[in-house]
A and B are shown apart, each in its own frame.
Chain A
Amino acid sequence: MGDIGHGDRVKVARDKKEFFGVLMPSVTDFVVLKLDSGYNVGFAPEGITMTLVEKAAPLAEKRLPRPVRPELPRLSIISTGGTIASKIDYRTGAVTSQFDADDIIDAIPGLAEIANIEGTLLYNILSENMRPESWSELAQCVYNEVRAGANGVLVTHGTDTLGYSAAALSFMLQVPVPVVLVGSQRSADRPSSDNVVNAICAGVAATSDLAGVFVVMHEDASDETCLVHQGTRTKKMHTSRRDAFRSVNASPIARVSYQERSMQFLGDHTGRGGCELSVRPHIEPRCALVKFFPGASPAIVDFYVTHGYKGLVIEGTGLGHVASDWVPHIRKAADVMPVVMTSQCVYGRVCDRVYDTGRDLLSAGAIEGDDMLSETALVKLMWVLGQTSDRFEIARLFKTDVAGEIHADATRTRSTFEELL
């Protein structure tokens, strides 16, 4: 069996019966054959004899040259992995590392009608393997693309941690064009994948009159419309549905119609070209997000203090509470690092002035996370700590709305980095 490899055409004989097919990779001990009917079946290896019929022929792919259409905007696509345009080589089980504009257009042909596409493969990882350092590299990569003249940037991303990356880019980048993160909940290898509708709608948003960082995903179960969410306000709220992403404590920015390829604004937004391009990618990754639960030991807080953490977000109950026995420990922690209170209610604003525990927390030095998502608060804390080490400046910057993450009042204006720092 030594000279037989995956992809080779073989003959398997079992109990005087013969089966012809292509030898496939197997994750178990069974020998897996793709029969001429297309079905895969597994044989127990001890009961069969296998002989080579024909070595595998290399996969040939036809590609036609793509003309540049000068009337269309220039859209840069940065891939970080995830399922939106991935290609799996079933013969080896590996996700292909080749990724260029042609791969994307192969997967989503309609994009070529919207813009001239350029593709960059930054990562090929599952989004749960993203790290804070990856956000910095991604921000730098987006910055480079925009500086090189991209009229919009599309970041394809696994959906699991897409919200974190969107928040990170929102803080790190000040961009005069739309930067749109997009993913797919149902894998691209199925005819029903949401990848095409999401990517086309993201393409429409990324070439529209917008500036900033956004997430574009399905609005509901239908392939009809997508919503454009503020990058700092988005949370994945369902494990598998296409409409998993929701704007929390804010209304979506716009709705994109897939069929019409058109976008309708739903609220306030910044138009294209409204600011200078800049990037502040520095970050302090030694921060943690801790969830309080009834009976949780306050030693959890001590752990982060003794292990050299620089910031802590505690997702408390209700308006932003923890048990009273946590307060002295938080007081000790707040002496050496910022401690932020957010709420596991997901929706609503933290307010620690209503109940005694809240007031105790404030006097212990905890910072209210306002109406920020816990994940956004964590990312913001990392970013703030990457910008300054002055504890008053940290507190001030954290409480300032940088990228739409805090809704202070109806007349708020967006601050520039220069004003903030």
Chain B
Amino acid sequence: MKEHDYKKVGLKAGLEIHQQLNTTSKLFCSSPTELRDTKDASYEFYRYLRPSKSEMGEIDRAAIEEGIGTRRFKYKAYESTCLVENDDEPPLEMNLEALKIALQIALLLQMQPFEQAHTMRKLVIDGSNTSGFQRTALLAAGGYISLSSGSVRIDTLSIEEEAAQIVNKDIYSLDRLGIPLVEIGTAPGVTTPKMARELALALGTILRACKVKRGIGTIRQDINISIAGGARVEIKGVQALDLIENLVRLEVTRQLNLLKIRDELQERGAGIGKPVEVSSIFAQTASNVLKKKHVWGLLLHRFAGIVGKEIQPDRRLGSEFADHAKKRGVAGIFHTDELPRYGITSRETEALLRFLKAEESDAVVILADENVKTCVEAIYAIMDRAKAATEGVPEETRRALSNGCSEYMRPLPGAARMYPETDVSPIAVPTELINRIKAHLPERLDDRMRRYRREFLLNEELARQIAWSENNQLFEQVMRLSGGLNGSHGRDEVKDSATFAVRTLEGTIAELKRDNVPVDRLTHETTLDVFRLVNSKTISKEGVPEILRCLAECPTKTANDAAAELGFVMLSERELQAIVDDVVQSRLEFVKARGAAAVGPLMGVVMKQVRGKADGKLVNEVLRVKIASVLR
């Protein structure tokens, strides 16, 4: 793909990061923050939502487009959710654990907290919030983050409620609703796609130093992008870091192409006709997409060839029209740049063009639906979008697609969507509190990595892996068991046991999980017990994977039981001697023939018998001595 000259096109981008916090309970009620299987829902209920006015008397445009009181939403509730999620009980006061974590993040980003936080209602009537709004409070402003390519200002940090998880069209699950999250908004200081990725990575690193949730869906990025002459577009729902660069690149492509289209339309003197019902033309149609439906058409003067013009890989201006039409409920649209097709014949196409008095340079868009109201709303939406094409790039919210493209979602929300949450009192955030949080800020992950290299002599790769991992606290506990560098162990031993601990926590357990072993059932205490057995040389390191598997599958067992049962208790040196004697004596010919080189092959034979019960190093040592003595 051709790389744009981003400086020349005037790329400006900023990120909005949403990160779930790993608190015990939700932001405004005592329900746990755990996700549930929708199979386990204990009951369901139905609701309608309507936009309400802000305190300034305005209704938000994005809220209006989501539909006024006509969509019926279904909600799935659990025994782990309560009446607050149902919007059948007022919220509790804000969860202070969440507030503390959010303030930590704000301070790590060099931000300045406001002295009083006000919980607001942000209107969201797509059904993802039972109340019809998301509770949110702006906590801090005016921070920055340093990157290799320059620093980016951090404008806002808010704490808010996570939305309900969508299960299916207009069906939502209440388990996720209300989990605390922080929303971090950066200034539009990003000037290249690479910088966008670097920014996301740097923010993620800071977030992970704090008590945040991990795993798919716990962090989401929205990107704001504009170019000179284009418009601010917000692309939502970017879950993979790798997608960010591509999204920025392809949005620049889209805006450049839309500007080209605008120039051409203006040069041609293009115009938009009025929507017309054209059902009669298709009364006898054999096309399944139009049969027995209302069909409406829109004449676009001097648009020939433009509707089918590609603006992003595999997406045309027509795709943008279709996005708007689909939003109103029709399945799709057809335009004369691509007709005849889809069972619509060339005769029908010509009749359509004649009926609308279309000329060669014109284009016609048609759509069909059983419901005439849906048709009319959709065709008017296309009319508006076509008009916008003659003016350039519309400001809007878009949804990220997995290939880096995006589709229309809704208009950009305005300030009118915010009004005060009168059920929650404002919270004072006094300087003393800020100072106390400042004094105990979590260790930054790059500092932690450097410390692990220093204290445990880990190589950089392993130190980074464990520093960024959720298991880092468990790792430190494991290292404390043996006393680390301050203990009575040599440097090699410390390095060995740290390396073994990282490989076990990050490698072995992940492998067991891939093997469908229920490793989530391993408590920290059980895992620590296994390391205790290793430290006391009761078991060998080789036995650890099998012992962990056994403990995960049967959590009532103790580490000692499991080791004994699996026969992983270490052999005494005498027992080992006896086994080695046996092996060497029964292969005397071979040993004599090969001499000292027999150690290699015989090592395999012995290990087969003692794996997990003896340390490989020791086996090697004993075997070498024995062979030497036989040869003598």
Residues of A within 8 A of B (CB): 15, 17, 19, 22, 27-28, 30, 32, 34-44, 47, 59, 61, 88-91, 185-193, 196-197, 220-224, 239-242, 259
Contacts and interface: CB of A to CB of B under 8 A. Distances in A.
A358 B420 CA distance: 54
A38 B54 contact: yes
A39 B428 CA distance: 16
B118 A222 contact: no
Given A30-B428, A38-B415, A221-B45, A192 B87 contact: yes
A190 B436 CA distance: 37
Interface in B315-348: none
A35 B137 CA distance: 12
A192 B138 CA distance: 23
Given A59-B57, A191-B132, A223-B47, A38 B416 contact: yes
A307 B371 CA distance: 70
Nearest to A189: B52
Interface residues of B, number: 53
Contact of B116 (A17, A41, A242): A41
Contacts of A40: 118, 120, 138, 418, 420
Contacts, number: 135
A41 B117 contact: yes
Nearest to B142: A17
Interface of B: 45-52, 54-57, 63, 69, 72, 83, 86-90, 112, 114-118, 120-123, 125, 130-133, 136-138, 141-142, 156, 158, 414-420, 422, 426, 428
A90 B419 contact: yes
Nearest to B47: A223
Contact of B47 (A30, A35, A222): A222
B565 to A, nearest CB: 51
Contacts of A28: 116, 426, 428
A38 B122 contact: yes
A59 B56 contact: yes
A187 B158 CA distance: 25
B47 to A, nearest CB: 5
Contacts of B142: 17
6 closest A-B pairs by CB: A191-B132, A42-B116, A38-B418, A90-B55, A38-B415, A39-B138
Q: Chain A interface mostly helix, strand, loop or mixed?
A: loop
B426 A42 contact: yes
A281 to B, nearest CB: 36
A275 to B, nearest CB: 37
A88 B420 CA distance: 11
Nearest to B185: A37
Contact of B132 (A22, A30, A88, A190): A190
A43 B114 contact: yes
B88 A240 contact: yes
A34 B56 CA distance: 10
Contacts of A191: 49-52, 63, 123, 125, 131-133
Contact of A241 (B56, B88, B116): B88
A90 B56 CA distance: 8
Contact of B131 (A89, A185, A192, A220): A192
Contact of B48 (A39, A61, A197, A240): A197
A16 B46 CA distance: 50
B131 A38 contact: no
A196 B51 CA distance: 12
B415 A221 contact: no
A221 B86 contact: yes
A40 B121 CA distance: 10
A242 B117 contact: no
Contacts of A89: 55
A242 B88 contact: yes
A142 to B, nearest CB: 29
A165 to B, nearest CB: 23
A223 B120 contact: no
Contacts of B55: 88-91
Nearest to B44: A222
Contact of A192 (B54, B130, B419): B130
